[in-house]
Amino acid sequence: MNDFSKTRQRFYLPEDLIYLDGNSLGPLPLAARSRMQEVLQHEWGEQLIRGWNQCEWMGLSERTGDRIARLIGAPGGSVIVGDTLSLKVYQALAAALALNPDRRLVISDSGNFPTDLYMADGLLRLLDRGYRIETPAPEDVAASLSDEVAVLMLTEVDYRSGRLHDMQALTGRAHELGIITVWDLAHSAGAIEVDLAAARADFAVGCTYKYLNGGPGAPAFIYVAPELIDSVEPALSGWLGHQAPFDFERRYRAANGIRRMRIGTPPVLALAVLDAALDVWDDIDMSSVRSKSQQLSELFITEVERRAPMLRLASPRDADQRGSQVSFQFEHGYAVVQALIADNVIGDFRAPDVMRFGFAPLYVDEQDIVEAADRLDIILSEKRWDNPAYFERAAVT
């Protein structure tokens, strides 16, 4: 069992702040702060170009990939970090489609995050081979699978409701029908137990700035099943996915293994920060994170419903059907979230009316939950949200 009071001390959290938004942007790990200083001064500053070799900058994408692999049930050498999640979705889908060249249908779901669907639309349009994408309701995905489907592309945990897909069952069913699977783990990695190897997932992608606390805009990761990687022809064939980038050959030859999913120069500063942010996970076992996060989310639902019956639970009531977040719907949800933020409780809002709260046991405890519910109660009962300042939409919600 992990001692989460110890992990909490490894983060910088402003005084009196209750942070229930680690599902959007994790807080600052103290190790990341000192690592950034050190890399700026001693690596970039002192070493300059020599840093690529002296400080092993080039190895950071694979090293951080291996550290993430442990958290998502993937073997070493099957995960690599770089670029943004949108790009990793594109790469994974392009590779998956090429492995199923005679089929023209992609299935996702209506709860998927817009960028995943936008990237898919753009890719299918570019390929111009008669591809179609369908987005049934999440509960209808299994029934939409057939032997006409090339790729099943899903986000495991719904960003709005927290509803969890059964990765193992859906991947199994997909494989029976000859379908390749792409799983987005944006709200799974560091939040719930994921076992890509046991589920026999083909491709997976995810963020590192949410539950993995890699910092704003931290690079994304991609997993390719080891038995597939050497048949993947990279669609984004950048020089760092080349077998020998520094031979500067005219012809592209894909590198062996997961390195072929690199594209261009790795974001060294961001990777160094991520590497330090991953330190806290070294002694963590995901089953204790999951059970603690379930306890916290159950407590939050109980405490909120007891005080605020006007809110409607927008997440599955069964903790086993949810990721690590709880959402409530309320007509004036945006204003309530702004009032909460003004009162030092940070959650977030997703249009049209969803208030979203994420639970990261590494730095959130029971006391935070009860205190957050108390402050929410006051905001609702005293209608403190009914303030023109709280109705003005910011650019980022």
Q: Which residues are catalytic?
A: 113, 184, 209-210, 356
Name which of 85 and 379 has its Cβ closer to ligand PLP. Answer: 85
Minimum separation from the CB atom of position 95 to ligand PLP (A) = 17
Name which of 51 and 138 has its Cβ closer to ligand PLP. Answer: 138
Q: Find the helix or strand (DSSP H, E) in which 151 lies.
A: strand 149-155
The letter for the amino acid at 201 is A
| Cα 393-395-397 angle, rounded to 5 deg | 70
What is the DSSP code (8-state) at residue 135?
A: -
Residue 176 burial (C-beta neighbours within 10 Å; 0-12, 13-18, 19+): exposed
Name which of 159 and 385 has its Cβ closer to ligand PLP. Answer: 159
Reference 343, options 371, 315, 311, 313; nearest CA is 371
C-beta separation of 223 from 201 below 8 A: yes
| Cα 299-301-306 angle, rounded to 5 deg | 100
Q: Per CB under 6 A, which of residues 201..230 are in contact with ligand PLP? A: 207, 220
Is 276 a binding residue for ligand PLP by CB under 6 A? The answer is no
Name which of 235 and 299 has its Cβ closer to ligand PLP. Answer: 235
Question: Binding ligand PLP by CB under 6 A: which of 2, 47, 84, 295?
Answer: 84
Question: Binding ligand PLP by CB under 6 A: which of 2, 47, 100, 115?
Answer: 115
Name which of 111 and 241 has its Cβ closer to ligand PLP. Answer: 111
Minimum separation from the CB atom of position 116 to ligand PLP (A) = 5
Applying CB under 6 A, the span of 42-50, 92-100, 110-118, 122-130 interacting with ligand PLP comes to: 110-118
Q: Which two tokens stand for residue 233?
A: 């022809």
Minimum separation from the CB atom of position 332 to ligand PLP (A) = 25
Q: Which two tokens stand for residue 117?
A: 């669907």
Applying CB under 6 A, the span of 72-80, 83-91, 336-344, 378-386 interacting with ligand PLP comes to: 83-91
Is 105 a binding residue for ligand PLP by CB under 6 A? The answer is no
Is 116 a binding residue for ligand PLP by CB under 6 A? The answer is yes
Name which of 159 and 300 has its Cβ closer to ligand PLP. Answer: 159
Question: Binding ligand PLP by CB under 6 A: which of 184, 202, 275, 368?
Answer: 184
Is 155 a binding residue for ligand PLP by CB under 6 A? The answer is yes
Residue 395 burial (C-beta neighbours within 10 Å; 0-12, 13-18, 19+): exposed
C-beta separation of 221 from 271 below 8 A: no
| Helices assigned H by DSSP within the chain | 4-8, 30-38, 46-47, 51-54, 60-71, 85-98, 114-127, 141-144, 167-176, 196-199, 226-229, 268-277, 286-307, 333-342, 366-381
Reference 320, options 342, 340, 302, 295; nearest CA is 295
Site string for ligand PLP, 30-59 (x = CB under 6 A): ------------------------------
Is 159 a binding residue for ligand PLP by CB under 6 A? The answer is yes
Is 344 a binding residue for ligand PLP by CB under 6 A? The answer is no
Is 160 a binding residue for ligand PLP by CB under 6 A? The answer is no
C-beta separation of 223 from 62 below 8 A: no
Strands 149-155 and 180-184: parallel
Question: Binding ligand PLP by CB under 6 A: which of 25, 80, 85, 339?
Answer: 85
Minimum separation from the CB atom of position 112 to ligand PLP (A) = 7
Q: Which two tokens stand for residue 357?
A: 């709260």
The letter for the amino acid at 85 is L
Is 187 a binding residue for ligand PLP by CB under 6 A? The answer is yes
Is 324 a binding residue for ligand PLP by CB under 6 A? The answer is no
Q: Give the integer Cα–Cα distance in Å for 282 and 285.
A: 8
Minimum separation from the CB atom of position 138 to ligand PLP (A) = 13
**Residue ranges that bind ligand PLP, judged by CB under 6 A:** 84-86, 113, 115-116, 155, 159, 184, 186-187, 207, 220
